[in-house]
Amino acid sequence: MSRTSHALAANQSKEGIISLIIAVFFFSFQDIIIKYLSANYSILQLLFIRSCVSLVLLCAIAYKLFGTGVFISRQPRLVLLRSVLVVLFIVPFYLAIPVLPLADIAGIVFSSPMIITLLSVLILKEKVRPSFGVAVVLGFMGVLIIANPTGNFSKAGVILAFGSACVYAVMSIVTRQINHGDHPITIAIYSMAFYVLFCLISLFVVSFINIDTLVHPSLDFFVRDWIMPSQYELILLLCLGLVGTVGFYYIARAYMIAPASHVAPFEYVYIIFVVVLSFVFFAEIPKITTIFGVSILIITGLYIWHYDKNT
């Protein structure tokens, strides 16, 4: 590789990393808004409004930049599968909000690199070096520390967050298969469209089922009635869609201009943003065990990504 090519690749990686950090910041701010509104609103209503606004804006941006061709998927089955997995990942993530701090949820969800490795060994029969296996074990220890160091793992919030991490791991594997077949914005548009469809179908199903919302706060967050927002809350809901759109655009841009192995490790910055914003808006101070567990996850996750990058 010439010096010019090397410098160009380095600049692209730098731009990709900056784009990812911007995306992660907006996603963390989006999650703070959802946490704030979770006291009164259904997660279905929040996701529906967010997705409708984001879908319109993403379509407008995509058409302006790439024309009508960007709306046609070359791998519709894989893109549809990923869209389903995105919903199955994000809904449990948000349903854990009423019972767990965002930092704890994020810490548990970021065990996904360890889950991806475990799946590659168990399902794909890939061989890994012993130190890699140790990293996976340490990563899951970090999850257990975040979940509850006393050994009580019955909390529904922990189960929801860990289930979200498992789906995210599968989604990451599927995304790798379509990364070079469809434009990232195309994938984001299909995901937003499926969000809207999922919320409408779920609303229809929930309206015909009599569910005791006192069973658990997470269940109440899912099935509660949709409400008419006040003027202030309507602004927040529109901001939710705008913030989500910016996040989706920049994360698409990050993985479009730079190799995934260069930018993916910086997704951990999300935890830092969440901790800071949770303290600013909710006066939430992370527990020592959370900080310790997240530190283990970050170290082991970066090791796994470094291993993938060099194999």
250 within a domain of the structure (yes/no) = yes
Q: How many CB atoms lie within 10 A of CB 234?
A: 12
11 within a domain of the structure (yes/no) = no
Q: How confident is the model at residue 311 (pLDDT cuts 50, 70, 90)?
A: low
Q: How far apart are CA 199 and CA 52, in angstroms?
A: 11
Per-residue pLDDT of 205-223, as tens digits, reads 888 877 665 668 888 899 8
Q: Which two tokens stand for residue 53?
A: 């606004």
263 within a domain of the structure (yes/no) = yes
Per-residue pLDDT of 134-177, as tens digits, reads 766 777 777 767 766 555 545 788 889 889 988 988 887 787 77
7 within a domain of the structure (yes/no) = no
Per-residue pLDDT of 97-141, as tens digits, reads 988 888 888 888 877 777 777 776 666 566 666 666 676 677 777
Residue type, position 146, single letter: I
- The helix/strand/coil state of 101 is coil
Give Cβ neighbours of residue 298 (< 8 Å, ≥ 6 apart). Answer: 110, 268, 271
For residue 224, give its domain range.
18-309
Number of domains in the chain: 1
49 within a domain of the structure (yes/no) = yes
Tell how far CA 69 is from the center of its chain.
Answer: 27
171 within a domain of the structure (yes/no) = yes
63 within a domain of the structure (yes/no) = yes
Q: Is 291 exposed, middle or buried (0-12, 13-18, 19+ CB in 10 A)?
A: middle
Is pLDDT at 265 greater than 80 in this prediction? Answer: no
Quick one: DSSP state of residue 179? T
Q: Which two tokens stand for residue 293?
A: 């567990």
Q: What values do phi and psi take at 310, rounded to 5? A: -110, 20
User: Where do we find the tokens 């930018």?
Assistant: 263
For 11-17, which contacts have Cβ atoms below 8 Å and span 24 or more sequence positions? 12/257, 12/258, 13/258, 13/259, 13/262, 13/263, 15/257, 15/258, 16/253, 16/254, 16/255, 16/257, 16/258, 16/259, 16/262, 16/263, 17/254, 17/258, 17/262, 17/263, 17/266
4 within a domain of the structure (yes/no) = no
Rg (CA), the chain: 20
Angle, helices 184-206 vs 43-66, to 10°: value is 150
Least confident of 90-99, 134-143, 189-198: 134-143
Is pLDDT at 293 greater than 80 in this prediction? Answer: no
Q: What values do phi and psi take at 99, rounded to 5? A: -125, -5
Is pLDDT at 281 greater than 80 in this prediction? Answer: yes
Q: Which two tokens stand for residue 169?
A: 């791991």
